[in-house]
């Protein structure tokens, strides 16, 4: 979808993009700019919340903010203009006074018809033809100018040809690496100089994969900064924002939108599509708790957060390795069972905006320290409300830790598209028969829900029994791995 239009050679408009997976609307959470502010190519101008997550939107051109079309808190359909920018401030037409976001009239002004030939080259950004029809002359455009023209298209706007040809002595700015604004932001976030990246895209364009490839050799074995965040994360958790109660009122109504709306739709769809079966087992995890205490003192685990969830996650991964058929999905359209030969391990996380389930990609390939670091980063990012839609896509199985709320267990509902979800209850000191005597032991209850269309009772029981056996005797992490 194209996200920019030209109201004139001076003003450009930026539309609400589809930030991923065919979403149709988003709520403007916060504006980072106001009318009259100067913006640059790639600068984040607002934060929006979709049904998946909160996402920051960069603007793909330079200029001065002329108008914000919607105030904060407004839900806007994909394709509607949200901001207008004066790209030639102080020049050309008579200067217009900057316009603040409309409140009484949130409907956007009529938009001019998009130029023909516009092609969606990136989610949220489009390629526009020059508004001036002009035949290109052969051999007259210097390489740097050609690069600038290509970059203009990547940014969502083509360079407008001047009515009068520029003199032959015009100084052409030095060309910069060709990349789309989101790719530039990714490189900035990762600390990668685009000039050092080898492009693989068509026409010498740098892609996301190129940036990730450039960053891959650099990571340290155990980042010290990643695990620190989880310890401070609980302080960042805030009470979900709801409508302020009116004194004396007996009811408060809160609009269903954003993440809460997505949760409701996903849970209803899952509960009434996949036939759920839930099995339970109570297990003595005293040895697991001792292992957690030992790992906290292990120098190889220095700098990462070690907790029972880490061992439970590793136990589930080993159980899946022993019973790979459980790691599958039901394809209703093609009437097929899709076997997954990788595990993207989802971790249900309660956030100020509601429940989300980001996942650890290729968790099955990670060592224990790597898994600990990934868990810490996932949890801290989720609590800060910065989880991206991509981080929540492609999960295969999920763990939900209801024990942190003091709950013994529950009957978890499958995350859509997955075949199993493991609920972990509170770990409590309870009387337990151990070696023929009743002793106080650390005990918890596990619950495994699975899709009975593709997971039979025997398979589900084996997976749950394997997880329980590992938590009872953690040495099985070695003997069964």
Catalytic residues: 452
Classify 352 in phi/psi space as left (phi over 0), alpha (psi -120 to 50) or beta.
Answer: alpha
Task: Give, rounded to a whole angstrom, the gap between the first and last alpha carbons of the chain.
Answer: 47
* Dihedral pair phi/psi, residue 346, rounded to 5°: -80, 145
Number of CB atoms found within 10 A of residue 430's CB: 13
| Beta strands in 302-371, from DSSP E residues, in sequence order | 328-331, 336-339, 345-347, 349-351, 354-356, 359-360
Residues 77/27, Cβ–Cβ less than 8 Å: no
Helix or strand (DSSP H, E) at 84: strand 81-86
Query: With 0-12 CB in 10 A as exposed, 13-18 as middle and 19+ as buried, what is 466?
Result: buried
Rounded to whole angstroms, how far apart are CA atoms 227 and 130? 49
Give the sign of the dihedral formed by CA 442, CA 383, CA 417, CA 367. negative
Rounded to whole angstroms, how far apart are CA atoms 298 and 52? 37
Distance of CA 202 to the CA centre of its chain: 27
Three-state secondary structure string covering 194-261: HHHCCCCCHHHEECHHHHHHHHCCCCCCCCCCCCHHHHHHHHHCCCCCCCCCCCCCCCCCCCCCHHHH
Closest CA to 48 of 81, 85, 84, 17: 17
Rounded to whole angstroms, how far apart are CA atoms 120 and 117? 10
Closest CA to 355 of 415, 409, 311, 429: 415
For 109, half-sphere exposure in the C-beta direction (CA atoms, 13 angstrom radius) is: 13
Closest CA to 24 of 1, 57, 54: 1
Residue whose tokens read 């009116």: 246
* Dihedral pair phi/psi, residue 205, rounded to 5°: -85, 135
Rounded to whole angstroms, how far apart are CA atoms 481 and 366? 12
Structure token digits, residue 366:
């990670």
Rounded to whole angstroms, how far apart are CA atoms 234 and 232? 6
Rounded to whole angstroms, how far apart are CA atoms 82 and 58? 12
Rg of the chain over CA atoms, in angstroms?
27
């Amino acid at each position: 979808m194209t996200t920019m239009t030209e109201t004139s050679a001076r003003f450009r408009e930026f539309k609400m993009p589809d930030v991923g997976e065919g979403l149709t609307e988003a709520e403007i959470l916060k504006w980072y700019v106001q009318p009259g502010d100067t913006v640059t190519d790639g600068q984040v101008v607002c934060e929006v919340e979709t049904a998946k997550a909160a996402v920051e939107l960069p603007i793909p051109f330079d200029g001065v903010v002329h108008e914000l079309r919607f105030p904060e808190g407004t839900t806007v359909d994909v394709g509607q203009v949200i901001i207008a920018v004066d790209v030639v401030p102080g020049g050309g037409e008579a200067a217009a006074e900057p316009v603040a976001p409309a409140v009484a009239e949130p409907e956007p002004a009529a938009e001019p018809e998009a130029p023909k030939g516009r092609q969606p080259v990136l989610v949220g950004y489009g390629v526009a033809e020059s508004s001036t029809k002009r035949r290109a002359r052969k051999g007259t455009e210097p390489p740097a100018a050609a690069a600038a023209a290509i970059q203009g298209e990547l940014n969502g706007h083509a360079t407008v040809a001047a009515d009068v040809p520029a003199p032959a002595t015009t100084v052409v700015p030095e060309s910069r690496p060709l990349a789309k604004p989101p790719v530039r932001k990714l490189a900035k976030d990762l600390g990668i100089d685009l000039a050092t990246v080898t492009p693989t895209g068509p026409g010498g364009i740098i892609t996301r994969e190129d940036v990730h490839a450039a960053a891959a050799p650099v990571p340290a074995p155990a980042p010290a900064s990643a695990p620190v965040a989880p310890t401070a994360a609980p302080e960042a958790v805030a009470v979900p924002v709801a409508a302020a109660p009116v004194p004396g009122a007996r009811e408060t109504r809160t609009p269903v939108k954003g993440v809460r709306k997505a949760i409701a739709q996903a849970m209803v769809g899952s509960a009434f599509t996949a036939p759920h079966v839930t099995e339970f087992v109570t297990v003595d995890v005293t040895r697991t708790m001792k292992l957690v205490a030992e790992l906290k003192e292990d120098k190889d685990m220095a700098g990462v957060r070690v907790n029972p969830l880490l061992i439970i996650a590793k136990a589930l991964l080993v159980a899946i390795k022993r019973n790979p058929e459980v790691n599958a999905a039901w394809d209703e359209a093609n009437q097929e069972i899709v076997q997954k030969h990788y595990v993207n391990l989802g971790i249900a996380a309660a956030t100020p905006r509601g429940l989300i389930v980001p996942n650890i990609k290729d968790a099955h390939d990670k060592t224990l320290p790597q898994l600990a670091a990934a868990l810490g980063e996932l949890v801290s990012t989720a609590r800060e409300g910065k989880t991206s839609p991509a981080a929540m896509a492609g999960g295969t199985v999920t763990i939900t830790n209801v024990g942190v709320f003091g709950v013994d267990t529950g009957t978890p509902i499958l995350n859509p598209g997955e075949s199993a979800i493991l609920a972990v209850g509170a770990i409590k000191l309870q009387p337990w028969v151990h070696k023929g005597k009743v002793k106080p032991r650390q005990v918890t209850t596990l619950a495994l829900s699975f899709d009975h269309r593709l997971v039979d009772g025997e398979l589900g029981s084996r997976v749950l029994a394997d997880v329980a056996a590992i938590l009872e005797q953690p040495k099985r992490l070695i003997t069964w791995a």
